[in-house]
A = this chain, B = another copy of it.
């Protein structure tokens, strides 16, 4: 699926797109700024891709898949409770305007109005959810599937709020998050 050298420009365009989406926003990426950032002529965008929209979708989906895959391969080493702290640590080690973080939010929002992109992201989220569920399913955590759902949503929500709420502190928030993995308290039986 790749002529080794000829597709170098294609790769550069996708990478430039990911950077520009994070820097200036999804809709602010134009064919000319994109080509300039990639160091090629403006006409090349529509030579390698059918449309700018298709380029942006492919750039976002491949970039997101990359981040997700790397996160997932790091997970199985640890048990869920330690792993949660590990995830939180990484989340807070990035700056609030971390390109990968912004790319996710930009893609989520763009997917609201693009059916193709929405399909791609839905598949990505399902894969993430499946692996998270398996990771959580150690017998000590109730309802791993929906726990994975909430974990994924909370992670994205925290990333959103991180750049808007200066009082958000990962160390202080970690104990609260860990409650999600706690067993349910004993039912009060009279």
Contacts and interface: CB of A to CB of B under 8 A. Distances in A.
A126 to B, nearest CB: 7
Contacts of A149: 161, 165, 167-168, 172-173, 176
Interface in A155-175: 155-158, 160-161, 163-169, 172-173, 175
A67 interface: no
Interface stretch (A33-41, A47-55, A72-80, A177-185): A177-185
A172 B24 CA distance: 38
Contact of A154 (B97, B112, B113, B154): B154
Contacts of A113: 24-25
Contact of A143 (B157, B163, B175): B175
A25 B25 contact: no
A164 B121 contact: yes
Range of interface residues on A (Cβ < 8 Å): 35 or more
Dominant secondary structure of chain A at its interface with chain B? helix
A18 interface: no
Contacts of A97: 112
Contacts of A126: 165, 167
A66 interface: no
Contacts of A155: 157
Question: Which of A112, A143, A182 is packed against the most chain B CB atoms within 10 Å?
Answer: A112
Contacts of A125: 161, 164-165
9 contacts: A25-B112, A125-B164, A149-B161, A149-B176, A153-B161, A153-B168, A160-B160, A179-B179, A182-B185
